[in-house]
Amino acid sequence: MKIKLPKYAALAGTCGLSLVLGSFITVKLQNAPVTVSVIREAQKIIGMEFTDAEADSMADNLNQFNKSYDNLRKLKMPNSVVPALNFNPVPVGFVNPDEKSGFKLGDMEKVTLPANRDDIAFYTIRQLAALIRTKQITSVDLTKFFIERLKKYNGKLLNVITFTEEHALQKAAEADARIADGHYRGVLDGIPFGAKDLLAQKDYKTTFGSVPYQDQQLDVDATVITKLEDAGAILIAKTTLGELAQGDVWFGGKTKNPWDITRGSSGSSAGSASAVSAGCLPFAIGSETLGSIVSPATECGDSGLRPSFGRVSKYGAMALSWSMDKLGPIARSVEDAAIVFNTIQGTDGKDLSTIAAPFNYDGRIKSLNGYKIGYVKADFERKYANRANDSTTLAKLKELGAELVPIEYPKMPIGSMTFLLDAEAGAAFQELVLSHKEDQMVLQNKNAWPNTFRSAQFIPAVEYIQANRARTLLIQDWYEKLKGLDLYITPSFSQNLSMTNLTGNPCVVLPNGFNAKGRPTSITFMGQLFGEGKLLQAAKTYQEATDFNKKHPALNF
């Protein structure tokens, strides 16, 4: 099926309030009236008690609400339609970390085509760009190389849903002609990439990795894809995602980790992380709502950037949570992630959730002298799997000149706010519940989306609003605690992951060693809101003082 989006669809990334229905009553699909006895039972779900007289008085209102719900459901709104409220992560008194915009790449040695052409599979964007710019390789040859490599390993890794080969070869030929005529567009010109298959490209299917949508074709191009192609990058594949952006299981199977194919690549940006790790893509676009860049980048040993909320347009992307969804690059190095981010960031008239902010990055920095870097002391002192490697990272930061400052989390019930994601996801995919198409999805356990979508219909709108009010307090508290710091560092998996997906702070996750079984481990650098400049600079400085990102899976399968 091919769906033409409404003219003003996806204009804003929003809280989802107008689509989060008011109470347990919303799941009553029959027209049976709400009575006092129904209210007596239902009040147990919301944890409140009403007298019979109060219940009797409410019945008329609740029955009227039901009629309103029925009328709204008849609109059959597609996923692309956003609620009329914008989430804004900016705290009171906020000052942008960067005063002005600027982008300077680090120094680089001369690049030559290797004797073994397979070695270019693990070249960085800048190295590949140097080969193209100096005409040592054409974009067509490079595009064919990565398409062939994807196809070679896809049978085992299951990291591609759709190859965009015809489109890619045409664009690559255009890039070669343009470059031959002296119109080189910059470091991304002629460079192949992949996009998580929740981003629309109008000539190909956009499946969301899900059985109910596996034949869906959207009549738009996602802004992120448009910006990359305008810079000359070549879309060669739509990569896998766990079904509707959860995990690494999709309608075609389970995407695998190239370091150990007995394991999944984690999710939900499963294919993007797997393909970059295997040297099948120079970079790919992923998305994160609650760990979907951090987790697969960790599992596969990639460098991933989750930008601040509002930095990158979500137009043309599947909505899971209008107030938490973020798009970002998964790449071979931190500077590669910076290159891609510099291209895709910025406001978009088609997505009113985007926020204007300067971005100032200087990749020439070699030390962390003068940097004040916070660290969540309690996190690093607890017993956890990657404690040794993380402690070594702290020591390396000191060695590079950083001043480490202990910090503490806000004393707030952070985990109790994360049902905001359930509420918005339940609204985004309520159509599946109403039509029972969620029964077609691959995973059906208690923690899978079908059960979450059903359960979300019982979340009262009042509690959704209360949680967002608590979120406002959290945003302000965390902003105050981070004042005076350039950034902070944290284990990749801790309370911080949930908290900062609520506050909208950016992060870079990158390899910091290996575990006893030889699989990559990671550390997370966290930035001030819209502080991607210093965040990326610090992470790049650390990465260049180590060599973990230069090690690759053997691919012996």
DSSP-derived letter for residue 438 is G
What phi, psi does 237 have (nearest 5°)? -160, 145
pLDDT range class, residue 267, cuts 50, 70, 90: very high
Distance CA 344, CA 276 (A): 18
Which percentage of the chain shows pLDDT scores above 70? Answer: 94
Query: How crowded is residue 64: how many other Cβ atoms within 10 Å of its Cβ?
Result: 11
pLDDT higher than 90, residue 303: yes
Query: Token pair for residue 60?
Result: 């008329």
pLDDT range class, residue 423, cuts 50, 70, 90: very high
The predicted pLDDT at position 210 comes to: 98
Distance CA 499, CA 473 (A): 12
Tell which residue, 153, 281, 239, has the closest CA to residue 556: 153
Amino acid at 406: P
Q: What confidence tens digit (pLDDT) does each residue in 213-258 have?
A: 999 999 999 999 999 999 999 999 999 999 999 999 999 999 999 9
- 335 contacts 368 by C-beta, under 8 angstroms: no
- 45 contacts 352 by C-beta, under 8 angstroms: no
- The H or E element that residue 166 is part of is helix 165-180
Q: Taking residues 481-507, what's their average pLDDT?
A: 98
Side-chain-side CA neighbours of 159 within 13 Å: the count stands at: 37
DSSP string of 29-68, one letter each residue: -S-PPP-HHHHHHHHHHHT----HHHHHHHHHHHHHHHHH
Q: Where are the alpha helices (DSSP H) in 181-313?
A: 223-230, 270-277, 294-300
> How far from 134 is each of 21, 106, 306, CA to CA, in Å?
58, 19, 32
Query: Token pair for residue 414?
Result: 């952070």
DSSP string of 210-230, one letter each residue: -GGGTT-EESS--HHHHHHHH
Query: Token pair for residue 422?
Result: 């359930």
Distance CA 415, CA 499 (A): 8
Span of 15-29, 265-279, 413-427 with lowest mean pLDDT: 15-29
Q: What confidence tens digit (pLDDT) does each residue in 373-411 have?
A: 999 999 999 999 999 999 999 999 999 999 999 999 999
Q: Taking residues 348-357, what's their average pLDDT?
A: 98
Query: Token pair for residue 430?
Result: 């309520």
The predicted pLDDT at position 5 comes to: 42
Residue 348: strand pairing partners: 351
The predicted pLDDT at position 25 comes to: 36
pLDDT higher than 80, residue 88: yes
Distance CA 330, CA 194 (A): 10
Start-to-end C-alpha separation, the chain: 37
The predicted pLDDT at position 61 comes to: 94
Classify 135 as helix, strand or coil. Answer: coil
* Overall residue count recorded for the chain in this entry: 557
- 535 contacts 506 by C-beta, under 8 angstroms: yes
Instruction: Label residues 404-429 b or e (16+ Cβ within 10 Å = b).
Output: beebebbebebeebbbbbbbbbbbbb
Tell which residue, 307, 310, 326, has the closest CA to residue 318: 326
Q: What confidence tens digit (pLDDT) does each residue in 147-159 have?
A: 999 999 999 999 9
The predicted pLDDT at position 204 comes to: 98
Query: Token pair for residue 231?
Result: 């810079």
Distance CA 354, CA 348 (A): 6
The predicted pLDDT at position 30 comes to: 53
Q: What confidence tens digit (pLDDT) does each residue in 21-74 have?
A: 333 334 444 568 999 999 999 999 999 999 999 999 999 999 999 999 999 999
What phi, psi does 28 have (nearest 5°)? -80, 100
CA dihedral 358, 342, 362, 394 (to 10 degrees): 100
pLDDT higher than 70, residue 173: yes
Amino acid at 28: K
pLDDT higher than 80, residue 354: yes
Distance CA 387, CA 160 (A): 34
Distance CA 91, CA 472 (A): 8
Enzyme catalytic residues: 196, 268, 292
Q: Taking residues 92-97, what's their average pLDDT?
A: 97
Query: How crowded is residue 236: how many other Cβ atoms within 10 Å of its Cβ?
Result: 30
Q: What confidence tens digit (pLDDT) does each residue in 132-143 have?
A: 999 999 999 999
Tell which residue, 530, 510, 167, has the closest CA to residue 356: 530
Query: Token pair for residue 457?
Result: 């219909």
Q: Taking residues 296-309, what's their average pLDDT?
A: 98
What lies within 8 Å, CB to CB, of 70 at 6+ separation is 31
Query: Token pair for residue 512?
Result: 């910091």
What lies within 8 Å, CB to CB, of 136 at 6+ separation is 112, 113
- 520 contacts 299 by C-beta, under 8 angstroms: yes
Query: Token pair for residue 483?
Result: 């004042």
- The H or E element that residue 430 is part of is helix 430-435
Q: Taking residues 1-28, what's their average pLDDT?
A: 37
pLDDT higher than 70, residue 282: yes
Task: Enter the pTM of the model.
Answer: 0.93
What phi, psi does 218 have (nearest 5°)? -100, 140
pLDDT higher than 70, residue 529: yes
Query: Token pair for residue 498?
Result: 């949930």
DSSP-derived letter for residue 549 is G
The chain-wide mean pLDDT, for the chain, equals: 94
